[in-house]
């Protein structure tokens, strides 16, 4: 970690960069979808509500799926052998959602975490073309509860030695997989989280590729195929033949 706290890019307005308007009532208006840029820690929920609303929504959606009577779910889905996976902002949601179903494991793919102290990777990739630091900061400013900073547990799962959530995951016996690449500004956050999980006795695996960038698997077919292989190898031990 570094105590340095570089300001947002002084030549760039983050709202203009993302083509959004900060409204006087606290909501935002997004004029265009910005490819490869996270717009909130729940990208599929465009409402202006801050955390923990997205977490509650995730739990509700999981229960809707579990109780759905569509044939392809009732006939082929095995809800006793379930993994929860989230990518980027969805990784944050998957980690924090207060799930009340039995699952086998948790897959965090480039999970969107942060903190007040800058990591080496954030400083090294401060002007990253996909996830520059000033955009990262704005996303948290718009998403966290009003009055808290980026060391809130919703943003920084390692602050203060980790929250009780880590102990709950350990007691539930969930297996955890954390995936990222060295070209992602968030990589040091993932490495730190994995280290803390290991120290607390969680069953955790990690897969950190060289190069790449945040969201690379959505653009590079070879990376996407490699990701599928990592996921398959992680989940296969729980399958009943």
CA separation, residue 172 to residues 88, 105, 138, 188 (Å): 24, 10, 34, 26
Average pLDDT, the chain: 84
Average pLDDT over residues 209-229: 95
The pLDDT, as a whole number, for residue 134 is: 93
Active-site pick, 128, 137, 180, 184:
184
More confident residue, 213 or 48: 213
- Reply yes or no on whether 213 is catalytic: no
Assigned domain for 170 exists: yes
12 within some domain:
no
Q: Are the beta carbons of 192 and 184 closer than 8 angstroms?
A: no
Residue 29 within any structural domain of the chain: no
- The CATH number of residue 165's host domain is 3.40.50.1820
Q: What is the pLDDT of residues 131-163, one digit of tens each?
A: 999 999 999 998 999 999 999 999 999 998 887
Which residue has 């996407």 as its token pair? 224
User: Is there a contact between 189 and 115 (Cβ–Cβ < 8 Å)?
Assistant: yes
- Residue 47 counted as domain residue: no
- The predicted-structure confidence for 22-32, as pLDDT tens digits, reads as follows 676 666 665 55
Distance of alpha carbon 114 from alpha carbon 135, whole angstroms? 12
| Percent of the chain whose pLDDT exceeds 90 | 56
The answer to the question of residue 91 being in a domain is: yes
Split into its structural domains, the chain has a count of: 1
Active site residue 57: no
CB neighbours of residue 88 within 10 Å: 23
User: Is residue 139 a part of any domain in this protein?
Assistant: yes
Domain that holds residue 89: 71-238
Is residue 28 a part of any domain in this protein?
no
Q: What's the pLDDT score for residue 162?
A: 86
Among the listed residues 96, 109, 213, 214, the single catalytic one is 214
Q: Mean pLDDT across the stretch 187-200?
A: 97
Pick from 111, 122, 114: which is nearest to 2 by CA?
122
Q: Is 18 within 8 Å of 30 (Cβ atoms)?
A: yes
What is the Cα–Cα distance from 206 to 218, expressed in whole angstroms?
A: 20
List 8, 88, 121, 143, catalytic entry: 88
Catalytic site residue 78? no
Look at 212 and 45; give whichever has higher pLDDT.
212
Q: If you average pLDDT over residues 190-212, what whole number do you get?
A: 97
Q: Which of 48-52, 185-189, 206-210, 229-233 has the lowest mean pLDDT?
A: 48-52
Model pLDDT, residue 100? 63
For residue 41, tell me if it sits in a domain.
Answer: no
Q: What DSSP designation does 40 have?
A: S
The C-alpha torsion from 61 through 67 and 69 to 75, rounded to 10°, is 100
Q: pLDDT class for 97, splitting at 50, 70, 90?
A: confident
- Percentage of residues in the chain having pLDDT higher than 70: 78
The Cβ of residue 89 has, within 10 Å, a number of other Cβ atoms equal to 22
Least confident segment among 6-15, 109-118, 156-165, 210-219:
6-15
């Amino acid at each position: 970690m570094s105590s340095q706290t570089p300001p947002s890019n002084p030549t760039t307005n983050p709202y203009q960069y993302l083509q959004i308007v900060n409204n006087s009532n606290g909501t935002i208006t997004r004029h265009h979808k910005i490819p490869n840029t996270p717009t909130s820690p729940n990208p599929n929920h465009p409402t202006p509500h801050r955390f923990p609303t997205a977490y509650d929504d995730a739990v509700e959606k999981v229960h809707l799926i579990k109780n759905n009577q569509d044939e392809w779910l009732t006939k082929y889905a095995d809800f006793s052998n379930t993994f929860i996976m989230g990518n980027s902002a969805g990784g944050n949601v998957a980690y924090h959602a207060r799930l009340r179903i039995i699952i086998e494991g948790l897959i965090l793919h480039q999970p969107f975490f942060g903190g007040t102290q800058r990591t080496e990777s954030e400083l090294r990739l401060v002007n990253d073309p996909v996830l520059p630091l000033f955009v990262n900061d704005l996303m948290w400013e718009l998403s966290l509860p009003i009055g808290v900073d980026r060391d809130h547990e919703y943003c920084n799962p390692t602050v203060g030695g980790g929250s009780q959530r880590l102990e709950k995951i350990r007691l539930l016996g969930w297996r955890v997989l954390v995936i990222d690449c060295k070209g992602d500004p968030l990589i040091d956050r993932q490495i730190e989280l994995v280290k803390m999980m290991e120290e607390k006795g969680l069953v955790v695996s990690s897969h950190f590729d060289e190069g790449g960038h945040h969201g690379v698997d959505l653009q590079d077919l070879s990376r996407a195929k490699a990701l599928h292989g990592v996921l398959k190898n992680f989940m296969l031990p729980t399958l009943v033949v």
